[in-house]
Structures are given as structure tokens and as C-alpha cells.
Amino acid sequence: MIGKKVGLLLFTAFAWSACIQLVEVDLPPETPKLVLVSHFTEGEPIRVRITLSQPLNAGVNVNEILRHGDVTLAADGIFFNRLALDSTAGGYLFWRSRDLLKAGVRYSVTARFPGFDTAQGSDTIPSPVVTVGLRIKGDSIRVLKDSAGLWIMRVPVQIHVTNLPKEHRYFAFGLQYELRKGPSSGSGAVELRPASFLANGRTLALTYGTPENLFLINENYWNDGNTSVEVEALLPYMPAEEHPTQLHLEWRTLSTAYYRYHLSLATQGSPLSDPDALFNNVEGGYGNISGFARQRKSVSLPQ
């Protein structure tokens, strides 16, 4: 009897032994390449992050910041600036141009670092093509109270655009809210925080979050004569020490390279999503060099 049981156990173990397993996959051999990432706009210098591509199983913090090389910027094919290494307050290093950029000019970034292939990417800053309006439905604002003492202001927001072009409807938007710190009517410090939002299923499915805390809007969103984005912004705050005062909208008109790069990124990270080939406009390397135009709108929140 015991022998039969052992036999059955062995048999079932053998039967299901191959369901899930860890394997190693041979990847095509590839030497590290330069990675250029920059989104640039009018009236600002270009700032390019230059790193190296890594093996898939490399750790998170192994991005090597390249310091010794030659990075140049050309405008419409003519040398414009040599970029210099700069750093942000957070310690990130960027290659920065001295002069400010203009719309309609094709800028090319060329990076030469010893031991690596030369990488080059180029794009143009588009002009804003739509007029943007921002409106909130003040009478529909609600405040929900969390058991932990956090309050969440829910603000219905309508972003309305006019003069939509028929093609290249490449846009992104971001919402921020201004928090005044301190007593309710005092003149304390002001803090800007990105706002998340809720929306109907279609809007959620056709907008994609980007690392810049903006939301890319699929160009098909504007089908059927749709000219507005309606969301319900969520503004959490601690009522004892914070008060939301303003809602800011940043609206971006994107170049094709900007839009397609982030659209290809949007297929990554979901188990239900079939990955797409990464859009890459950097020759000799990886990354994205792309321009955008920025518009800003603000509305005051009712106190």
C-alpha cells in the first residue's frame, strides 16, 4: 500500500514538474552604446542626459555617467554650441548648451566619447497649434476625508482645445496644484505637487503616464470631434497645515519623435500588453532627442 502511494506521488510530481521554470536566454551580443535623452523647448537651453546602455540583468544604479567626451549641438546643420557638463540640485548630470533654443529650428546633438560609437539625434521644437482653455466646475468640487486625517479634494476639470489640426495631434498634459503651507490664511510657503486624476474608461485607456509626470494623449483620443479632456483631479492635503489654492495645467505640443517614443514606452510594464519595438531616433546609440512646445494655464481653487 505504501509503495503504491509513493508511486502515485512520484508520478504526479513528474507530471507537473515542468510547468514553470527559470531559464537563461541567449541574447544577441551587443557592446554598450551611448544613450542620449533630452526633451527640449523654446527659450531654454538643451540639457542632454548621456549614459550607457546596460545588460538586462545589470543593477539599478550602475548607470555610468560619461564625463569625458565631446558633445556638440548643431542648428539646421550648422554648429551652434558645444555642450558643457552641468548638474541639477538633485545631483543628476546633464550636458547643457549655452544658448537658448528656438522653435522651428532643427537641432542635432552629437556625442563623441572615446571607446564608443558616435551617437547623434536630432529634432525640431514644434509650434503650439491649439488654444487651450482650463475650467473647473466649482460647484461639483467635493472633499473626501480619509480616516488617517488626509483630505482629498476632488476637482472636476475640463481642458478644452480649439484649432485642432487634422494630423499630428500629438499632445501631453500635466496637472499640478499649489499648496500654501501654514495657517489657513497665513502667507506661508508655497509648494507645487503633481496631481493625479480619475476619468472615464476611455480617457484612462487613451492617456499614458510618462516619467515626467505628464500624460501622453493618444492621437485617436480626438476622434469623433472630441475637443476636450475631462478628468477629476485628486488633490490630497493635510487640512491642518496645507491649503490647495491654485491648479496649474501644463500643455505640451509634441514633435513626432517625442510622441512615438513615449507611445512605445507605454506598452512596457503591463502583463497584458504586447511590447512594441522601442522608438529610437538616436543613430549609433539609444534614447530620444525631441522637442516640444509648452503652454501653461492656471485657475484658482475655491477656498
Partner 1 sequence: MAIHNIRLPKAIGKCFFETFTQRETAVLLTDICVRNPLRWQSLYRYASFLISPYVLVWAAWSMCLGYAVGQNTLQEKRINFQCYQCEVEAALLQLAQQHNLGISFSPNFFASCSPVTLNVQNKALEEVVKEITACAKVKVEWEADQIIIRALRHYTVSGRVVDTQTGEWLIGATIRVEGGGYTVSNEYGFYSLRIVEGTHRLSAFYVGHRLEKVVVEVKADLQWNFRLTPDAMLREVTILSRPAKEGIEPSASLSSGQSLSLEAMRRTPMLGGEGDLMRYATLLPGVLTGADGLGGLHVRGGNADQNLFLLDEVPVYNPSHALGLLSIFPASAVNYAQFWKGDFPARYGGRAASVIDIRLRDGNGERYQGEGAAGLFASSFSLEGPLLRGSRREKSSEASGSFLATGRFTYLAPWLQLLERRYRGALFLSGDDVRYRFYDLTFKANYKFSQREQVHLSAYFGGDAYRNQLRQTFSSSTAILNDQYTLGASWGNNIVALRWNRILAPGIFFKTILRYSRFNYQSQQDLLSESFQFISGKRKTVANYAQRYQTLIEDVSVQAGWEFRLIDNLAIHAGLSYAFHTFEPGALSVNFLLPGQSPLLADSLAKTLFNRERVRADEFSLHTDLSWDVWKGGRIEAGLFLSSFEIRNRTFWLFQPRLRYAQRLGDGLQAWAGYHHMGQFLHQVGTFNLNFPFELWVPTTPRALPEEAWQATLGFRLNGADWALSVEGFYKNLTRVLAFRSSTTALLSAGAEDASGWEDRIISGTGWAKGIELTAQKGWGRALFSANYTLSRAMRQFPEWNAGEPFPFRFDRPHVLNVSAHYRPTPWLDISALWVYASGNPITLATVKFQHQTYEENASPRDVLVYGRVNSYRLPNYHRLDLFCRFSFVGRKCRHELLLGAYNVYNQVNPFFRYIDAAIPADAGRAGAIQYNLLPFLPEVRYSFRF
Chain positions 153 to 212 lying near partner 1, rule: CB under 8 A, are 154, 174, 176, 194, 198-209, 211-212
- Interacting positions 222-251 with partner 1 (CB under 8 A): 223, 232
Tell me if 12 contacts partner 1 by CB under 8 A: yes
Tell me if 81 contacts partner 1 by CB under 8 A: no
- Interacting positions 18-37 with partner 1 (CB under 8 A): 18-30, 32-33, 35, 37
By CB under 8 A, name the one of 127, 162, 228, 273 that touches partner 1.
273
Q: Which letter does DSSP use for residue 129 in this model?
A: -
Sheet containing strand 119-124, strands side by side: 78-82, 70-75, 106-112, 119-124, 282-283
Residue at grid coordinates 556625442: 111
**Phi, psi (rounded to 5 degrees) for 100:** -90, 160
- How do 285-300 and 34-41 pair as beta strands? parallel
Which one of 71-79, 108-116, 159-167, 220-228 is the stretch in contact with partner 1 (CB under 8 A)? 220-228
By CB under 8 A, name the one of 42, 51, 123, 157 that touches partner 1.
51
By CB under 8 A, name the one of 184, 220, 298, 300 that touches partner 1.
220
Q: Would you say 54 or 72 has its CB closer to partner 1?
A: 54
Minimal CA–CA distance to 159: which of 226, 210, 254, 103? 226
What is the widest separation between alpha-carbon atoms in the chain? 88
Which one of 12-20, 66-74, 75-83, 179-187 is the stretch in contact with partner 1 (CB under 8 A)? 12-20
Which one of 55-63, 118-126, 165-173, 295-303 is the stretch in contact with partner 1 (CB under 8 A)? 55-63
For residue 35, with 0-12 CB atoms within 10 Å meaning exposed, 13-18 middle and 19 or more buried, which class applies?
Answer: buried
CB 54 within 8 A of CB 92: no
How far apart are CB 207 and partner 1 at their closest, in Å? 6
Tell me if 56 contacts partner 1 by CB under 8 A: yes
Rounded distance, CA 196 to CA 234, Å? 6
x/- letters, 115..154, toward partner 1 (CB under 8 A): -----------------------------x-x-----x-x
By CB under 8 A, name the one of 92, 102, 163, 165 that touches partner 1.
92
For residue 159, give Cα distances in angstroms to 143, 285, 297.
21, 37, 10
Rounded distance, CA 212 to CA 220, Å? 22
Tell me if 280 contacts partner 1 by CB under 8 A: yes
Q: Would you say 55 or 115 has its CB closer to partner 1?
A: 55
Minimal CA–CA distance to 85: which of 67, 101, 65, 64? 67
